Amino acid sequence: MSNKTTVILAAMMGLGLAGTAMAEITKPECVAPAKPGGGFDLTCRVVQTGMEAMLPRALEVTFMPGGIGAVAFNEFNTSRTDDPNALVAFSTGSILNLLVGKYGEYSLDDARWLAGAGVDYGAVIVKADSPFQTLADLMAAMSADPTSVVLGAGGSVGSQDWMKAALIAKAAGADPKAMRYAAFDGGGEALAGLLGGAIQVYTGDMAEMAAHLDGSLRILAALSEERLPAPYAEVPTAKEQGVDAVWPIMRGYYLGKNVSDADYATWVAMFTTAHADAGFQKVQAEKGLFPLPLAGAAFDAAVRAQADTLKTLAVEAGLMPAN
C-alpha cells in the first residue's frame, strides 16, 4: 500500500468511513469555470498545489468558461454527472447565479457540495494611476454622476460582482441600475480590462490581488468586517471609510450529483486531512485565502446557509421574487 493511500485510509478511519469501500481517484482534475487568471483558477491552484502529496498523480486544471459557471454546471449535470475524478471550483457568486436562475432550472440539489478552499472578501480595485486615490474620491464621483464612472467585473448584471458594485453605488446615493457596468467572463478578463483601460473600477476579490501587489493596482477598500492580515494589512475596509459594504466569499469545490458515496467519501477524507495540514494552509495563505476547514456534510450545510442569506439579498435587489 502506498504512503498516499495510507494517508487517505487513516483519514477515512478517523471520520468513521473505514467501512465504506474506498474509491480510487485515478485522474484528478479541477475544472475552473472561467478563463485563466481569476478566482476560479486560483481556487483550483489551491488544491493542485496544496494536495499534491496526497494525489496519485498531478492534478490537471482545465478551463470551461461560459456563463460564469453555467456551462460547467450544465456539463456536470449532463455528460459528467458521475465523474469521480473531477472537482469543479465555485464561489459565493456561483451560488447566487444558481439561485437567480442564471444556471437554468438547476438547484442546489444538482451538485454534491464537497469542501472549502478558503474564505475570500470582495474588493474595490483601481489602477495605480487612477484619479480615485481613495474610496471617498470614488464615492464623490458616483454621487455627483453615477454614469461618469465605468465599473466592471467577472459577472453580468445580478451576479456577485455586480452586487458588490451595486453596494458601492447605493452607498453613494446612486441607483445601481443607473451605473455603467461592464460584464466580463471571469476575474482574469476583468483585470485585463482594468489594466487596459476598458473600465475604471473593478469590484473583484482580495485573493485575486495576491499576485498583483507589484504597484500596478491600488485596492481602495476591502469588503471585510475588519482589516485583513498581511499582505493586506495596509488596505482599509470600506466600513472604516464610512461605507457600509461587506462581502465575504466562500470558495470551494463540488462534484457531479451522481458521484457515488464511496468516491465522495474519499474526497471528503482527503480534504479533511488537507485542511489540517500545514503545507495546504501555507498554499491557502499564499493564494490570499483564509481557512474554511469544512468538508462533506458540514460544508454542504454551510453552502445551504449561505444560500439562505443570498436569497434575502437577491430579493432586496429585485433579482428574484420574495416567494
Which domains are assigned to the chain?
3-119+250-316 (3.40.190.150), 121-248 (3.40.190.10)
SS3 122: strand
Residues in the chain: 323
Q: How far apart are CA 131 and CA 197, in angstroms?
A: 13
Per-residue pLDDT of the chain in tens (323 residues, 90 and over written 9): 444 433 333 333 344 433 344 467 899 999 999 999 888 999 999 999 999 999 999 999 999 999 889 999 999 999 999 999 999 999 998 999 999 999 999 999 999 999 999 999 999 999 999 999 999 999 999 999 989 999 999 878 888 888 899 889 989 998 888 889 999 988 889 999 999 999 999 999 998 888 888 889 999 999 999 999 888 999 999 999 999 899 999 999 999 999 999 999 999 999 999 999 999 999 999 988 999 999 999 999 999 999 998 888 888 777 778 76
SS3 132: coil
Residue at grid coordinates 461618469: 148
DSSP string, 49-69: HHTGGGSSSPPEEEE--SGGG
Threshold 0.85, pTM exceeds: no
Residue at grid coordinates 501587489: 213
Given CA atoms 277, 281, 284, 286 in this order, what sign does their dihedral have?
negative
